[in-house]
Amino acid sequence: MPALTCQRTSFRPVLTAMAKCPSFVHQILLVFSFTAALSRAVTVNIPFSAPDGAPIVSGSLFSLSLEQDRWLDWVGTTSTGRNDFFFNTLDNLIQISGEAPQIRIGADSEDHTDFGVGVKDAELIFPAITETVPFPEASNITVGDAYYEAVQFLPPDTHVIWGVNFGTKNITAAFLEAQAIQQAFSSDAVQDAGIILDFVEIGNEADLYSGNGHRPSGFNVSEYVDEWATFATNVSAAAGITPDSHAQFWGGGFAESSHSTTGFSPQGMFSKGILDSKPGKLIKTISQHHYSGSFCSGNGGLLQDLMTKSTIRSNLSMFTPDIATVRDQGLDYVLGETNSYSCHGAPGVSNVAGAALWALDYALFARKIGVTRVHFHEGIGYKYNLIQPIALTRSPLDGSTLPDPLPPHVQPPYYAAVIAAEAAGNGGNTQLVELTIKNSRISGYGFFEGGSIARAVFINSEAFLIDLTAERTSVHVDLDFDDDAPSTMKVKRLVIGHADDASGLTWGGVTYETEDGRPSGEESVETVDVGDGFDIQATEVVLLSFS
């Protein structure tokens, strides 16, 4: 059994510990009950070859969704130049997997954006700042051509999805935005950089329109499909979207899914005939939004809930029927906007190391069930960001004024993107298989190249919290190969102090928490005999590479 004292010394001085810690006996009981529930050793079978139909996992599985009001703060402007910090954090991932994260620009503020002829960059009006939402979305956004032209500052070969306003039901706004998007992407600067418009999205979370004032109450999916087709006819002409163009439409983008033919869902849109309409034939991907819940304050229990293997699976498995319906139509399916908790994240939960483990397991499990890409939603100063691309003068956690500005930095979930990129590799043809692991805290995935196992990722999602007095637990994992076991493997670890640490993580000895967002530190990887297995601590990720 694991050692346990108030002072984190070894288990030997039990009597000393009993004398010093009045709650010691209680803790011992706790540990016994834990030990009974969670075995400290597990054997995991690694299939000899990837099963038929195992999905290909792309290097851009981790993609981003950016709140479009402050898009220029992310990317830079033609007058101030590129935002190098943001560029570097994206380029790091390209260096690993050979693929840029895909960037969706839109979200709530997409439905509050007007086009202003002659407007330079963007004009924004913000609502009042509150403690729970220190960085609210702008309520009015007026943009000009330069706003779209700034897309040239993304890394070369980035694929982009851009949203136009449907919320205010002002077709002139959607038309002018679509025209500006078309012009920006056909400009020399953007073409030279190889930045590609893959999709246009019309409106954000239309299933919420009747509740948020964008439409009268009772707005239903039939009305949605009719109005969408009217807008899409206009937008396709303005943006140059035709059956032969590269750019097509993302469809859906609902906050929830009814999973039924009568409500807002892929099933609902399809049964109302969206795919039979002329512009509906230009829909090539269905986008779904999802958050695990809405919590504007956080605690250790909430962090553990987020990280928990079974809740990650139940949050995603509910979309299985939708994914099947979409794929039956030959369309692709993505989570076009997602993150841990709405309210821009829960403080002390969405912005800490445990959320990195959540993000990794969430994205990999999503891929397993047929989601091609997972666009993690980001906004300037949002708590759940992977990246904070500019200096912040007030706290993202509670809006208080900071004594010194917080410089641009990555947050713990960024490491999850790095690990996923490394696991996917740069061969472009890696297959992902979830490994069966009989432990409620450990999940694992195998990555197959040319049909054989190349790498495996293991995640121990037991939250080791700063306040815990119990010693950190660890599970020993033995690997059972069907055949032809490799003899040695490399073991690389995401080292985390505590699940609720907001910084100080290292990936194989390397930190990304640097001034310029570039990695720093010497890589450290162990080489061990496969037959010895490996240990994985509470709140840790391990990547195995086989040769």
Ligand X SMILES: *[C@@H]1O[C@H](CO)[C@@H](O)[C@H](O)[C@H]1NC(C)=O
Nearer to ligand X, 17 or 180 (CB): 180
Question: Are 112 and 166 contacting, i.e. CB atoms less than 8 angstroms apart?
Answer: no
Q: Least distance to ligand X from the beta carbon of 349, Å? A: 9
Q: Phi, psi at residue 464, to the nearest 5°? A: -95, 105
Q: Write the DSSP string, 464-521.
A: --TT--SPPPEEEEEEEESS---SEEEEEEEE-S-TT-SS--EETTBB--STTS--BS
Q: Least distance to ligand X from the beta carbon of 53, Å? A: 25
Question: Are 432 and 58 contacting, i.e. CB atoms less than 8 angstroms apart?
Answer: no
The pairing of beta strand 76-77 with beta strand 103-106: unpaired
223 binds ligand X (CB under 6 A): yes
CA distances from 181 to 45, 55, 170, 177, 283 (A): 49, 33, 17, 6, 18
Of 362, 324, 378, the C-alpha closest to 461 is 362
33 by Cβ neighbours in 10 Å (0-12 / 13-18 / 19+) ranks as exposed
Q: Which stretch binds ligand X (CB under 6 A): 102-110, 170-178, 278-286, 482-490?
A: 170-178
Nearer to ligand X, 85 or 341 (CB): 341
Interface residue with ligand X, options 237, 255, 369, 502 (CB under 6 A) = 237
Q: Least distance to ligand X from the beta carbon of 222, Å? A: 4
220 binds ligand X (CB under 6 A): yes
Determine the Cα angle at 180 with ends 179 and 181, to 5°. 90
Task: Using DSSP, state whether 340 is helix, strand or coil.
Answer: strand
Q: Which stretch binds ligand X (CB under 6 A): 2-10, 216-224, 505-513, 532-540?
A: 216-224
Interface residue with ligand X, options 132, 140, 183, 271 (CB under 6 A) = 140
d(CA 253, CA 337): 8
CA distances from 319 to 85, 106, 201, 324, 476 (A): 35, 22, 20, 9, 33
Determine the Cα angle at 379 with ends 239 and 66, to 5°. 25
The pairing of beta strand 442-449 with beta strand 452-460: antiparallel
Question: Are 336 and 375 contacting, i.e. CB atoms less than 8 angstroms apart?
Answer: yes
Residue type, 139: S
Nearer to ligand X, 130 or 212 (CB): 212
Binding mask 280-319 for ligand X (x = CB under 6 A): ------------xx-----------xx----x--xx--x-
How many CA within 13 A on the CB side of residue 122? 26
Nearer to ligand X, 322 or 471 (CB): 322
234 binds ligand X (CB under 6 A): yes
d(CA 397, CA 130): 11
Q: Least distance to ligand X from the beta carbon of 370, Å? A: 18
Nearer to ligand X, 93 or 239 (CB): 239
Site residues for ligand X, 354-373, by CB under 6 A, read none
Nearer to ligand X, 217 or 487 (CB): 217
Interface residue with ligand X, options 87, 115, 135, 507 (CB under 6 A) = 115
Q: Least distance to ligand X from the beta carbon of 461, Å? A: 11
Q: Least distance to ligand X from the beta carbon of 113, Å? A: 8
Nearer to ligand X, 114 or 449 (CB): 114
Nearer to ligand X, 238 or 489 (CB): 238
181 binds ligand X (CB under 6 A): no
Specify which residues 200 forms β-bridges with.
162, 249
148 binds ligand X (CB under 6 A): no
123 binds ligand X (CB under 6 A): no
CA distances from 259 to 223, 249, 251, 269, 487 (A): 18, 21, 15, 11, 47
Q: Least distance to ligand X from the beta carbon of 203, Å? A: 14
Determine the Cα angle at 99 with ends 426 and 365, to 5°. 80
Question: Are 356 and 417 contacting, i.e. CB atoms less than 8 angstroms apart?
Answer: no
Q: Write the DSSP string, 389-453.
A: -S-EEE-TTT-PEEEEEEPSEE-THHHHHHHHHHHH-SSS--EEEEPP-S-TTEEEEEEEETTEE
255 binds ligand X (CB under 6 A): no
Q: Least distance to ligand X from the beta carbon of 440, Å? A: 14
Q: Which stretch binds ligand X (CB under 6 A): 30-38, 68-76, 220-228, 424-432?
A: 220-228
Q: Least distance to ligand X from the beta carbon of 216, Å? A: 8
230 binds ligand X (CB under 6 A): no
513 binds ligand X (CB under 6 A): no
Interface residue with ligand X, options 175, 231, 319, 507 (CB under 6 A) = 175
Size of the site for ligand X (CB under 6 A): 26
Interface residue with ligand X, options 130, 139, 186, 400 (CB under 6 A) = 139
Question: Are 207 and 256 contacting, i.e. CB atoms less than 8 angstroms apart?
Answer: yes
Task: Using DSSP, state whether 47 is helix, strand or coil.
Answer: coil
Q: Least distance to ligand X from the beta carbon of 417, Å? A: 20
Interface residue with ligand X, options 171, 296, 331, 468 (CB under 6 A) = 171
Q: Least distance to ligand X from the beta carbon of 270, Å? A: 14
d(CA 262, CA 271): 8
Q: Least distance to ligand X from the beta carbon of 381, Å? A: 21
Q: Which stretch binds ligand X (CB under 6 A): 173-181, 418-426, 432-440, 482-490?
A: 173-181
Interface residue with ligand X, options 6, 9, 55, 114 (CB under 6 A) = 114
176 binds ligand X (CB under 6 A): yes
125 binds ligand X (CB under 6 A): yes
Interface residue with ligand X, options 170, 245, 260, 429 (CB under 6 A) = 170
- Binding residues vs ligand X (CB under 6 A): 114-115, 125, 139-140, 168, 170-173, 175-176, 218, 220, 222-223, 234, 237, 292-293, 305-306, 311, 314-315, 318
